[in-house]
Structure 1
Amino acid sequence: MRRVVVTGMGIISPIGSEIEEVSKNLKEGYCGISEIDLLEDPDLKLKYWGYCYDFDPEGLLTRKEIGRMDRVTQLGLYAAKKAIEDSQIDFDDYDRDRVATVIGSGVGGFDTIEEAVKIQCEKGICRLNPLTIPMVMANRTANEVAIRYGLHGESQTPVAACATGTNAILNGYRAIKDGYADCVISGGAEAADTLLGIGSFQQIKALSKAESLDRASIPFDAERSGFVPAEGAGILVLEEYEHALKRGAKIYAEIAGGGITCDAYHITAPNPDGVYVAKAMENAIKERGHSLEDIDYINAHGTSTAKNDQMETNAIKYLFKDRAKDVAISSTKSMTGHLLGAAGAVEAIFTILAIRDSFIPPTINLKVPDEELDLNYTANKAVEKEVNYALSNSCAFGGSNVALLFKKVED
Structure 2
Amino acid sequence: MKRVVITGMGAVSACGLGADALVQATQSGASGVRPVKFTNIDQQRVGTAAALAPETKEKIEEDAGHRMREPVSNYAVMAAREAVAQAGLGPEDFGDRCGVSIGSGFGGAQTLDRNYMKFSVEGSMRLDPMSVPKIMNNAAASWVSMEFNAMGPAYCLATACSSGSQSIGLAYQLLKAGVMDRCLAGGSEASLEGGVFRVWELLRVMTADKNRPFSKDRNGMTLGEGSGVFVLETLESAKARGANILCEIAGYGTNSDAGDLLRPNPERAAACMNLALADAGLQGSDIGYVNAHGTGTVANDINEVAALRSVFGEDLAGLEVSSTKPVHGHALGAAGALELVASFGALQRQSAPPTINFNEVDPKIGIDPVGNAARPISTRAVMSNSLAFGGINATLILKTYE
Greater shift in the superposed pair: 313-322 or 15-24: 15-24
- Out of 235, 238, 248, the residue aligned to residue 232 of structure 2 is 238
Give the structure-1-normalised TM-score: 0.94
- Out of 359, 367, 370, the residue aligned to residue 367 of structure 1 is 359
Give 3-state SS (helix, strand or coil) of 1:287's partner: helix
Give 3-state SS (helix, strand or coil) of 1:304's partner: coil
Query: 2:212, 2:218 within 8 Å by CA — same for their partners in 1?
Result: yes
Q: Which one-letter code corresponds to 1:347 in the other structure?
A: E
The aligned runs of 1:254-403 (5 Å cut-off) are 254-271=248-265, 274-322=266-314, 324-403=316-395
Q: Which residue of the partner structure matches residue 213 of structure 1?
A: none
Q: Which one-letter code corresponds to 2:146 in the other structure?
A: I
Distance 1:241-1:295 versus aligned 2 partners, 3 A rule: same
- 1:81 Cα deviation (Å)? 1.0
Structure 1: gaps spanning 5 or more residues: 211-215
Q: Which one-letter code corresponds to 2:214 in the other structure?
A: F
- 1:44 Cα deviation (Å)? 1.0
Q: Which residue of the partner structure matches residue 169 of structure 2?
A: 170
Q: Which one-letter code corresponds to 2:69 in the other structure?
A: M
Give the structure-2-normalised TM-score: 0.96
Q: Which residue of the partner structure matches residue 61 of structure 1?
A: 64
Q: Which residue of the partner structure matches residue 159 of structure 2?
A: 160
Query: 1:328, 1:376 within 8 Å by CA — same for their partners in 2?
Result: no
Q: Distance in 1 between matches of 2:16 and 2:379?
A: 23
Q: Which one-letter code corresponds to 1:261 in the other structure?
A: N
Give 3-state SS (helix, strand or coil) of 1:269's partner: coil
Distance 1:40-1:120 versus aligned 2 partners, 3 A rule: closer
Structure 2: gaps spanning 5 or more residues: none
Distance 1:198-1:325 versus aligned 2 partners, 3 A rule: farther
Q: Distance in 1 between matches of 2:401 and 2:388?
A: 30
Deviations 1:204-224 (A, max 9, x none): 1111132xxxxx111001111
Deviations 1:92-134 (A, max 9, x none): 045x212100001001001110111122225667522110000
Q: Which one-letter code corresponds to 1:278 in the other structure?
A: A
Greater shift in the superposed pair: 33-42 or 126-135: 33-42
Q: Which residue of the partner structure matches residue 150 of structure 1?
A: 149
State the aligned residue count: 399
Greater shift in the superposed pair: 323-332 or 3-12: 323-332
Give 3-state SS (helix, strand or coil) of 2:16's partner: coil
Deviations 1:167-224 (A, max 9, x none): 10000101100111110000000011111111111111111132xxxxx111001111
Q: Distance in 2 between matches of 1:232 and 1:405?
A: 22
Distance 1:34-1:126 versus aligned 2 partners, 3 A rule: closer
Query: 2:276, 2:397 within 8 Å by CA — same for their partners in 1?
Result: yes
- 1:40 Cα deviation (Å)? 5.7
Query: 1:354, 1:387 within 8 Å by CA — same for their partners in 2?
Result: no
Distance 1:252-1:38 versus aligned 2 partners, 3 A rule: farther
Q: Distance in 2 between matches of 1:46 and 1:322?
A: 36
Q: Distance in 2 between matches of 1:325 and 1:17?
A: 36
Distance 1:307-1:32 versus aligned 2 partners, 3 A rule: same
Q: Which residue of the partner structure matches residue 87 of structure 1?
A: 87
Query: 1:327, 1:376 within 8 Å by CA — same for their partners in 2?
Result: no
Query: 1:104, 1:159 within 8 Å by CA — same for their partners in 2?
Result: yes
Q: Distance in 1 between matches of 2:264 and 2:192?
A: 23
The aligned runs of 1:33-44 (5 Å cut-off) are 33-37=33-37, 39=39, 41-44=41-44
Query: 1:73, 1:140 within 8 Å by CA — same for their partners in 2?
Result: yes
Deviations 1:340-384 (A, max 9, x none): 110000001110111111110010110122112223410111012
Query: 2:41, 2:198 within 8 Å by CA — same for their partners in 1?
Result: no
Q: Distance in 2 between matches of 1:409 and 1:68?
A: 40
Q: Which residue of the partner structure matches residue 205 of structure 2?
A: 206
Q: Which one-letter code corresponds to 2:382 in the other structure?
A: A
Deviations 1:136-175 (A, max 9, x none): 0110011111112111111100111011100100001011
Q: Which residue of the partner structure matches residue 106 of structure 1?
A: 105
Q: Which residue of the partner structure matches residue 52 of structure 1?
A: 52
Give 3-state SS (helix, strand or coil) of 2:280's partner: coil
- 1:230 Cα deviation (Å)? 0.6
Q: Distance in 2 between matches of 1:161 and 1:227?
A: 15
- 1:323 Cα deviation (Å)? 5.2
- Out of 248, 266, 271, the residue aligned to residue 242 of structure 2 is 248
Q: Which one-letter code corresponds to 2:118 in the other structure?
A: I
